[in-house]
Amino acid sequence: MKIQYLMLFFLVFLSGCQSNPTMVAEPPPPWIENPGEGAVGSSSIHIKGRHFQEELAITRARERLASRYGVTISSVSRIEEKVRNDTAFVRSDHEIRQILEGTEVKAQVRATWHDKASDTVWVWLYPAD
């Protein structure tokens, strides 16, 4: 009889521990899969914060959009991280090379979306007149 009470106690205890609310995933906007004449860029967590995360997403969308107009963009990033005695040291190098062939590409941010479940920022860039 004592074993049954003990098992019932553990069952109630464990069910109470699992009552954390779960985050409901918001569906992505349709422009992520179908950007039309625009381009989409994304960025997950950035070491320098949300502003830099959004700027990186814009840069990636700009590279995709520019490639359609004959602009060659090459970007290389190198991040080096060292940890010594519970202190982290981060060094970041970023190099961008552009080759323009008489084409000027103007663009504007049409929409942004933050996927909170994966902490990813999505940006929809569209050609501007």
* Three-state SS sequence of the chain: CHHHHHHHHHHHHHHHHCCCCCCCCCCCCHHHCCCCCCEEEEECCCCCCHHHHHHHHHHHHHHHHHHHCCCEEEEEEEEEEEEECCEEEEEEEEEEEEECCCCCCCEEEEEEEEECCCCEEEEEEEECC
Looking at residue 20, its pLDDT comes to 47
Each residue's pLDDT tens digit, 66-92: 888 777 666 666 667 777 777 776 666
| pTM of this prediction exceeds 0.85 | no
Q: What is the pLDDT of residue 63?
A: 84
Is pLDDT above 90 for 113? yes
Give mean pLDDT, residues 89-115. 72
The predicted pLDDT at position 84 comes to 78
